[in-house]
């Protein structure tokens, strides 16, 4: 039996259960527009649109062609119990101007795939139920204390002790959140989050391997999940509110105000270094907090930031902790199931997702990013015409299928 025949036979069994939303998901993961996918399979964009909307169903031969062109098994297109995209809010990206729609669609598709994998694993392992509080904060409420109240609500409802917050990733996972690292191909997109009726999701950047900044990123995205389920993503006010939420969650005003420096003289940098390790936040975050709470004047803050820039600490700030916080929900589930005799291969087969993406979603640590990805992080990918690297490799036919 040839590889082509094998794929076609698999496709024939899929046709009756073909889900257009899964085709959209695969196309977004591959970073393709409808017209580009249509060109690959020598069909019209109208036909692709009809399959994705459910208006028409592709033939078995076309399903096989779609699978081979996109780099997935035909079973990827089979309908799932839940349509994750339909159940999810629009993701909160840091800057809508710095990433194309194509890149945002790809990032959102990856997050949906992570939810899909988690839902599949949950058939065997009981995960914590969704427990992220909700306190909507109006986007036009610029001067109010909504973000701070939301942060205090989370601390209270989650029973957080006074003082520094503990392991932020573990905290969110323990309350039903899903935290994963994005693939290195998407390193140009910073941390982002979205809410679904299945699970809250935070996707962390794979190349920002800084313990202190990562903790702030998690708190920032948690702020979006708590406050902005209905807010338009990407605006300056929305991002500022998430920043204020994170600052209050990690450095409660009542607890840290008197510890922050009021001047930048004497042994202030040693004090900041000690506070950094105690509270698990960067010195830059501490300085910003000191200014926000009125401890530091604008002039003192600017001078401090100039000092940080001159030392090269803007992106490489010194600190004692080098290992980032690691997710454990999905990796722990896989380890537990392996002990029960359910190996990874069976789980991947059940999820019907590409092996590489399964490994990325369920990893404790991010994959190593290529230098090119690190160099282009934060740049406007519209300079390249909005092209993004595919997260799907062309399907490799296993020898036993031949």
Give the residue extent of every domain in the chain. Answer: 1-79, 83-253+324-379
Mean pLDDT of 196-217: 94
CA angle 148, 240, 104 (to 5 degrees): 125
Q: Is 209 helix (H, G, I), strand (E, B) or coil?
A: coil
CA quadruple 284, 290, 292, 296: dihedral sign? negative
pLDDT at residue 95 is higher than 80: no
Q: How far apart are CA 114 and CA 303, in angstroms?
A: 43
For residues 28 and 34, is the Cβ–Cβ distance under 8 A? Answer: no
Q: How far apart are CA 161 and CA 350, in angstroms?
A: 40
pLDDT-based confidence at 91, cuts 50/70/90?
Answer: very high
Tell me if the domain spanning 1-79 has CATH number 1.10.260.40.
yes
Mean pLDDT of the chain: 90
Contacts of 165 (CB under 8 A, 6+ apart): 171, 215, 219, 249, 250, 280
Residue 216 is encoded by which pair of tokens? 């702030």
Radius of gyration of the chain (CA): 23
pLDDT score at 229: 85
**Global pTM?**
0.91
CA angle 95, 219, 213 (to 5 degrees): 75
């Amino acid at each position: 039996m040839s590889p082509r025949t094998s794929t076609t036979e698999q496709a024939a069994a899929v046709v009756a259960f073909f889900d257009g939303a899964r085709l959209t998901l695969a196309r977004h993961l591959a970073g393709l527009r409808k017209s580009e996918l249509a060109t690959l399979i020598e069909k019209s964009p109208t036909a692709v649109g009809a399959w994705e909307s459910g208006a028409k169903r592709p033939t078995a031969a076309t399903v096989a062609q779609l699978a081979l062109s996109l780099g997935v098994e035909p079973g990827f297109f089979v309908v799932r119990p839940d349509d994750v995209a339909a159940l999810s809010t629009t993701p909160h990206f840091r800057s809508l101007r710095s990433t194309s729609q194509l890149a945002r669609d790809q990032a959102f598709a990856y997050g949906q795939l992570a939810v899909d994998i988690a839902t599949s694993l949950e058939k065997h392992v009981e995960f914590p139920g969704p427990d992220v509080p909700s306190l909507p904060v109006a986007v036009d409420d610029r001067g109010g204390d909504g973000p701070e109240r939301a942060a205090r609500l989370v601390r209270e409802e989650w029973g957080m002790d006074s003082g520094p917050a503990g392991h932020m990733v573990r905290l969110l996972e323990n309350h039903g959140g899903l935290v994963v690292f994005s693939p290195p191909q998407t390193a140009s997109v910073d941390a982002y989050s979205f809410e679904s009726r299945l699970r809250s999701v935070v996707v962390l950047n794979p190349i920002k391997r800084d313990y202190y900044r990562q903790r702030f990123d998690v708190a920032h995205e948690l702020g979006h999940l708590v406050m902005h389920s209905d807010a338009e993503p990407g605006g300056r006010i929305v991002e500022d509110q998430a920043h204020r939420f994170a600052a209050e969650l990690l450095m409660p005003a009542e607890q840290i105000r008197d510890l922050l420096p009021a001047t930048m003289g004497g042994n202030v940098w040693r004090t900041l270094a000690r506070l950094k390790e105690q509270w698990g936040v960067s010195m830059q975050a501490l300085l910003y907090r000191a200014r926000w709470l009125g401890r530091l004047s604008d002039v003192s803050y600017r001078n401090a930031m100039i000092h940080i820039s001159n030392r090269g600490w803007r992106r490489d700030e010194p600190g004692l902790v080098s290992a980032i916080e690691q997710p454990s929900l999905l990796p722990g589930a896989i380890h537990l199931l392996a002990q029960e005799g359910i190996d990874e291969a069976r789980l991947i087969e059940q999820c019907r997702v590409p092996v590489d993406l399964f490994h990325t979603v369920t990893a404790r640590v991010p994959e190593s990013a290529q230098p090119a990805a690190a160099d282009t992080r934060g740049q406007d990918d519209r300079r390249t015409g909005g092209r993004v690297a595919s997260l799907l490799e062309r399907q490799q036919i296993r020898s036993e299928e031949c």
